[in-house]
Amino acid sequence: MTVLLAIFIPFIAACLVPFIHKILTGRRIGWFVITIPLFLFILLIRLVPSLSNGASYLYTFPWIPSADVYFSTHLDGLSMIFALLITGIGSLVVLYSIYYLSEREAIGRFYTYLLLFMGAMLGVVLSDNLIVLYVFWELTSISSFLLIAFWYHRKQSRYGAKKSMLITVTGGIFMLVGFLMLYTITGTFNLQELISMREVIAADSLFIPAMLLVLIGAFTKSAQFPFHIWLPDAMEAPTPVSAYLHSATMVKAGIYLVARFTPVFAGDTTWFYVVSCVGLLTMLWGSVNAVKQTDLKALLAFSTVSQLGMIMSLLGIGSLAFASSESTQIALFTAATFAALFHLINHSTFKGSLFMVVGILDHELGTRNIKRLGGLATIMPITFTIALIGSFSMAGLPPFNGFLSKELFFEAMLSLKEANLLSMDSLVLLFPIIAWVGSIFTFIYCMIIVFQTFFGKVHAPAPGQRPAHEAPIQMLISPMVLGSLVVLIFIFPNLLGTYILGPAMNAVYPQYEGMPGLVPEIHVWHGWEMPIFMTIGVIIIGILLYGLLRYWKWIYSVGFLQWTLDRLYNALLQRIERVASVVTKTYMTGSVRDYVAYIMLFFIALVGIGLLGFQQFIFDFSDDAVIEINESIIIFVMMCSSVAILFAKSRITAIILNGVLGYSIAILFVVFRAPDLALTQIIVETVTTVLFLLCFYYLPEWKNEYKSVSMRIRNGLIAVASGVAVTVIALLVQGHSMYPSISIYYETASRLAGGLNVVNTILGDFRAFDTMLEVLVLFIAGLGVYSLVKLRRKKGVDHPEEK
């Protein structure tokens, strides 16, 4: 039940925030919201000791059992890491946002979206059913869309929100197809059962397609190349959103998915090549592009892309343990996954603090432009200290936690020479070289953050820019906590390894659980080994390149380097919009007659293809009743009135003929001994006729729209074909009796319900639930109309990050 509480409490709180905000106005609503992640963090961290002893928590109840969909949850070491990050960082972000957001903002709406996202992320990492996981997965995309577009009056915010949602939701759909393929192979959506059936999955022909589709979902969510383009534009969100979604939580969802599915797919070398190569390419691409940014938030966005690629590449190398048989090789490759999980936590600490620092600079100075910043070390000493800790940790320097995971990263890259599947020495050497080059650019952009922002000349405030001053201590608490964790993890890394990373390693490698060396001991000093020499090389070359930055940064302005995937995305989107516009204008003519013609043509084609395909033209007239003379007269009158409407010269004539048709149907009901239906038909027909008269009274003069002979012929052919199709279907139904008549069931059930009139019983009892849903739909539509009527654009709102 603890896991269920962790998922549903944020959703319940999100529903309550709009009402509580009326009582706790302004920033006070933040103090209510902060209790939610803080309570969940305490609730979850109490389970850490039991998880470190091998326990796990499973819970399930039926949701759609006929489709094998159960609301199953599973809390193990892997999901615990992400759950603690979601709730722990979430608590600090809420505290930071209380003092960051202006009281004139729509704070209630902000916290509603934030809690929705928190619940969705917890649902992703705690779900044990693929369909449930997918539902929460897409809910994270929707809630992040709302958060990124929080300042919806800004064009760039709307653009970034739509871009992130389009890419991540599309990737999620691909992932869903992969899940359905896995279900086709195994017959189950349960994750734990899938892991136990990895041999069955690997032997199936759908193995590779399912793997690639799942990876597309993971890559889009975790901003891997070439899907990374949404992340920099998502930086238009308020800084608390960037610190939460784009450093610690949402972008880690794809990392979680890859780690969770490693036991399912990792036995095949395709998984290794795709995950590790995409990860390394993303790391290099992100770090190289970060150096040229002049906006601090954009720089952090590309650095996040780079760091996510680094973690992804480590998970790819760690998958080689499933293809290894020697214990030494297994220990080497599992150490890569250990490094990935370790850096996952480290990245959340130092990157979260850096995002908050950038938010502080923007909030207090009114700019994030590096060219307008400088000399802030003495003016903002606390902010500078936090930025120094975070930047040096990201650069992989001691005494910060990033140094430890960066050393493990280099060790993992060097361990590839032990992999039997890599027979080409050049390919083996390429991985550590790319990792080393990417680390050099990482070092450079970290130096840019520290030295170009906090050292050098103090710039005079530009118009609209505020004089430099230190932030309030309340806003500094959250980044100070994260900065302290950066140092504490460096001092006590094995405490984290024993209680947090160890259970997670058992979840990723269930077959190696309890194996000596699965959870390696973290050492601050490894001796004079190759990783330390690589780190020294990164520092020396990084310092040299940073010092000469103004001499070689012109490379970024070279023609072919100006080309970006963003341009391709925008061009493709514009082309799709143009094609969609042409297609829409072709069939959206504004004429109801044309729309009815489209519907009828589709119906005729569907029926015609179906009948010709099945070739079941069997007509049975043996049980047909005799048509009496009075019934024939009524039918003849209906036919005449229907045809006569087409040739009516006035509205009154058309209305009368339409009424004749309706009242004739009522007479037929009387003939067939259904007086209640006849009475209903008469009432409906009378009301309809009156409404027609009222509407036509206010319409322009009557115009005969059927002037063209070709139009008359076309409409006549469509009408005749539609009538023939319906008639053929009605006649064919008599010759095919696949199931017993449903009328027998309704007749029996109606008598059990105490009703003598079958039709009335169906309407009153069997359709009651349907009617209730129809009323609910009308109620929701009414709420929407009421909201649109009451909606008023708020003016004069203070947006601290608005340019």
Residue range 443-472: average pLDDT? 84
Dist CA 355 CA 233 (whole Å): 15
pLDDT band at 735 (very low <50, low <70, confident <90, very high): low
CB pairs under 8 A, 24+ apart, for 157-160?
A: 157/236, 157/237, 159/233, 159/236, 160/230, 160/233, 160/234, 160/235, 160/236, 160/237
Question: Which pLDDT tens digit goes with each residue over 7-29?
Answer: 999 999 999 999 999 898 888 89
CB pairs under 8 A, 24+ apart, for 324-332?
A: 324/419, 324/420, 327/515, 327/517, 328/418, 329/418, 329/419, 329/420, 330/512, 330/515, 331/517, 331/518, 331/520, 332/412, 332/415, 332/418
> What three-state secondary structure class fits 778?
helix
pLDDT, mean over the chain: 88
Dist CA 84 CA 245 (whole Å): 14
Which pair of structure tokens corresponds to residue 52? 């470190």
Which pair of structure tokens corresponds to residue 492? 């006590």
Q: Decide: 308 and 316 in contact? Cβ < 8 Å.
A: no
Dist CA 308 CA 347 (whole Å): 9
| Strand partners of residue 72 | 60
Q: Where are the domains of the chain?
A: 558-588, 593-738, 742-803
> What three-state secondary structure class fits 190?
strand
Dist CA 129 CA 111 (whole Å): 28
Which pair of structure tokens corresponds to residue 221? 């969510």
Q: Decide: 51 and 474 in contact? Cβ < 8 Å.
A: no
pLDDT band at 752 (very low <50, low <70, confident <90, very high): confident
What angle do the packed helices 77-100 and 35-45 form, to 10 degrees?
Answer: 160
Dist CA 459 CA 448 (whole Å): 17
Burial (CB < 10 A; 0-12, 13-18, 19+), residue 622, is: exposed
CA proximity to 198, closest of 266, 256, 260: 266
Q: Which residue has the tokens 């302290």?
A: 484
pLDDT band at 616 (very low <50, low <70, confident <90, very high): low
Q: How far apart are the first and last CA of the chain?
A: 46
75 — phi, psi (to 5°)? -105, 110
Q: What is the 3-state secondary structure (H, E, C) of 545-613?
A: HHHCHHHHHHHHHCHHHHCCHHHHHHHHHHHHHHHHHHHHHHHCCCCHHHHHHHHHHHHHHHHHHHHHH
- Judged against a pLDDT cut of 70, whether residue 153 lies above it is answered with yes
57-64 vs 69-75, strand pairing mode: antiparallel
Q: Decide: 314 and 412 in contact? Cβ < 8 Å.
A: yes
Q: Decide: 133 and 124 in contact? Cβ < 8 Å.
A: yes
Which pair of structure tokens corresponds to residue 434? 């790319």
Q: How many CB atoms lie within 10 A of CB 372?
A: 15
Q: How many CB atoms lie within 10 A of CB 103?
A: 10
Dist CA 494 CA 789 (whole Å): 59
Residue range 683-710: average pLDDT? 76
From residue 603, how far is each of 721, 722, 723 by CA, in Å?
Answer: 10, 8, 11
- Judged against a pLDDT cut of 50, whether residue 799 lies above it is answered with no
Beta carbons within 8 Å of 347's beta carbon, 6+ residues apart? 247, 307, 311, 394, 402
Beta carbons within 8 Å of 469's beta carbon, 6+ residues apart? 364, 379, 380
Question: Which pLDDT tens digit goes with each residue over 293-320?
Answer: 999 999 999 999 999 999 999 999 999 8
Q: How many CB atoms lie within 10 A of CB 254?
A: 27
Q: How many CB atoms lie within 10 A of CB 474?
A: 12
Q: Decide: 799 and 151 in contact? Cβ < 8 Å.
A: yes
- Judged against a pLDDT cut of 70, whether residue 800 lies above it is answered with no
Lowest mean pLDDT of 111-125, 196-210, 446-460, 644-658, name the range.
Answer: 644-658
Percent of the chain at pLDDT exceeding 90: 54
| Strand partners of residue 69 | 64
- Judged against a pLDDT cut of 60, whether residue 795 lies above it is answered with no
DSSP 127: B
Lowest mean pLDDT of 388-397, 444-453, 739-748, name the range.
Answer: 739-748
Identity of the amino acid at 186: T
Q: Decide: 106 and 119 in contact? Cβ < 8 Å.
A: no
CATH architecture of 593-738: Up-down Bundle (1.20)
Sign of CA dihedral 335, 338, 344, 347: negative
Query: What torsion do the CA atoms of 726, 731, 737, 743 make, to the nearest 10 degrees?
Result: 70
> What three-state secondary structure class fits 523?
coil
Q: How many CB atoms lie within 10 A of CB 176?
A: 20
DSSP 187: S
Q: Decide: 734 and 625 in contact? Cβ < 8 Å.
A: no
Dist CA 373 CA 684 (whole Å): 74
> What three-state secondary structure class fits 618?
coil
Q: What's the confidence (pLDDT) of residue 187?
A: 92
Dist CA 609 CA 615 (whole Å): 10
Q: How many CB atoms lie within 10 A of CB 168?
A: 28
pLDDT band at 188 (very low <50, low <70, confident <90, very high): very high
Q: How many CB atoms lie within 10 A of CB 192?
A: 17
Question: Which pLDDT tens digit goes with each residue over 59-89?
Answer: 998 898 888 899 999 999 999 999 999 999 9
- Judged against a pLDDT cut of 90, whether residue 625 lies above it is answered with no
Residue range 445-473: average pLDDT? 84
Which pair of structure tokens corresponds to residue 613? 């395909």
CA proximity to 160, closest of 208, 231, 211: 231
CA proximity to 412, closest of 319, 299, 476, 292: 319
Q: Decide: 412 and 335 in contact? Cβ < 8 Å.
A: yes
Q: Which residue has the tokens 């393929």?
A: 181
Q: How many CB atoms lie within 10 A of CB 775?
A: 10
Q: What's the confidence (pLDDT) of residue 426?
A: 56
Question: Which pLDDT tens digit goes with each residue over 400-422?
Answer: 999 999 999 999 999 887 766 55
Q: What is the 3-state secondary structure (H, E, C) of 33-94?
A: HCHHHHHHHHHHHCCHHHHHCCCCEEEEEEEEHHHCEEEEEEECHHHHHHHHHHHHHHHHHH
Lowest mean pLDDT of 263-267, 534-538, 766-770, 789-793, name the range.
Answer: 789-793
Question: Which pLDDT tens digit goes with each residue over 29-65?
Answer: 999 999 999 999 999 999 999 998 888 899 998 898 8
pLDDT band at 575 (very low <50, low <70, confident <90, very high): very high
Residue range 620-636: average pLDDT? 82
Host H or E run for residue 652: helix 651-671
